[in-house]
Amino acid sequence: MNSIPPSPDTRHLTPDEIELWAEGLLPAARDVHIGECAVCRATAERERKLFRDLGQLTRFAPEFGFVERVMARVKIPAPSGPHLRPDADA
């Protein structure tokens, strides 16, 4: 008789679990799934690459104030609510 695992966890990994995997924190029970599921493995590899890229971005982060300077140049129109004008003539 074949021994069937009690309850194989065959669900695809959630985005949260993939993030855990990328951080090396995914429980072994779910880690098995990545080994067996091409879909999740592809997603996980992509996530891990993203993590690595982010890590490099952090390492080569521009000097402090870069974001502020960029944002100062980018004019963001102040949000004007459509219904926030009490003096609008009807």
Contacts with Zn ion, residue ranges (CB under 5 A) = 12, 37, 39-40
Nearer to Zn ion (CB atom), residue 31 or residue 51: 31
Place of tokens 């993590």: 51
Q: How far is the CB of 29 from Zn ion (least distance, A)?
A: 13
Nearer to Zn ion (CB atom), residue 12 or residue 49: 12
Q: How far is the CB of 33 from Zn ion (least distance, A)?
A: 6
Nearer to Zn ion (CB atom), residue 39 or residue 61: 39
**79 exposed, middle or buried (CB, 10 Å; 0-12, 13-18, 19+)?**
exposed
Nearer to Zn ion (CB atom), residue 46 or residue 69: 46
Q: Is the dihedral of CA 56, 62, 66, 71 positive or negative?
A: negative
Residues in CB range of 18: below 8 A, 6 or more apart: 40, 43, 44, 47
Yes or no: say if 34 and 21 are a contact pair by the CB < 8 Å rule: yes
Q: How far is the CB of 13 from Zn ion (least distance, A)?
A: 6
Q: How far is the CB of 64 from Zn ion (least distance, A)?
A: 41
